Amino acid sequence: MRAPECPKAALVEALHSGRIGPPEAAAVERHAAACASCAALARDIERIGEAVRAPREPATPLEHQRARLALLRRATELPPSRAPWGGARLALAGAALALAAALVWSGAGEALRPAEQPAIALRFQLPPHVALDRGTTLRPSVDARFEREMRAGLDVVTLTDGALDVTVRRLAAGERFIVRTTDAEVEVRGTVFRVEAERGHIRGVSVSKGAVEVRHAGIVATILSGGSWRATGGAGAAALPGMVLPPAPGGSAVPAPGGSAAPAPGGSAAPAPGAEPSAPAAQGQGAPPAAAVERKRAAPGTASSSSPATHKFAEAMQSLARGDYARSAEQLEAFSAAHPGDARADEADYLRAIALQRAGRSAEAAAAARRYLARRPNGAHRAEAKKIAGN
């Protein structure tokens, strides 16, 4: 049952339309505060005003076509009973006027010019199943700077700064997708991954699905689903990817020992003769044991894999992989002391804390992590070291 209308309802409408002065407006507002009918009317007027002021999205060409076809269909439908010819003429005239009003209201007059009018399918039926190829998508970070070039089956994204989350469709034979920086290339097939760069130099790659091949400073590494890789040292320094070991209970994944590096076919230039490859920085981040990094043998002209520093680092990593954590901690400490300028010294200091933690020597592990944080203000594993140190 509807409440009777208040005699002062017209004053409420005048208040909202601005047709009364301030003294009368104050009186009407006091009345509306005490009168339920006028208060409801004021709320209704406010809602109507908000609806009128709200921006309306312009009709798309498809929506306009549907409305036009609906009007034409209603105009041509026969009534249930035969109406006199005069009534039919009035109905057609009314439909024509309604159609003209709809065209003017939607502003679609320009879309109906003959040169731009799309073909209208009067009979359209979807097939039982439509397989849509969503293609390759790029989701850049806020600070990302990149360029994309596609030609003859080759899709190349040149990343200068920031990060890209990339989803690559399954490529056909002869198609290639490459993310390129000034010092590295990442090539994929049907993969979901993330690549980061800074000032044109690659900083890291993480793979959510599939596998990617990283070619950096004469090294080829394959990162499988769930794995990740980070370049350590200064921007553009060679990174030596390593296999990701399955995480120990309560621990974090660490790189395993491995062979030497391989040159990137068609990739960046190899390091200068005599240069030491830098440290591994691949991390599992919850990856399964299969999330590993494939390492290939070095070709002549790259850094020697039989140098004393490389040999000592490999021995320490082998001890870590065998579970001889105490021995590995000693070897890593000796390596860091003997080769403080080696790019792998960052990894050695961090992995020593990991080895001590897995050996059950928590206090020494925390001390090693604190030493890493003090000695490596720009270290690649500061976040992990803070957790071990208890910060």
- 188, containing H or E segment: strand 184-188
226 close to 286: Cβ distance less than 8 angstroms: yes
pLDDT in tens, 303-335: 344 578 888 888 888 888 788 889 999 999 999
pLDDT in tens, 106-118: 655 454 455 554 4
Q: Which residue has the higher pLDDT, 374 or 250?
A: 374
pLDDT in tens, 220-278: 777 777 888 888 654 333 333 333 433 443 444 444 333 333 333 333 333 333 333 33
Neighbours of 347 (CB within 10 A): 28
pLDDT in tens, 50-79: 877 777 777 788 888 888 888 888 888 776
The rounded distance, in Å, linking the Cα atoms of 248 and 340 is 28
Lowest mean pLDDT among 83-97, 107-121, 165-179: 107-121
For residue 84, what pLDDT is reported?
54
Neighbours of 181 (CB within 10 A): 27
The rounded distance, in Å, linking the Cα atoms of 144 and 221 is 24
Whose CA is closest to 210, among 166, 254, 180, 261? 166
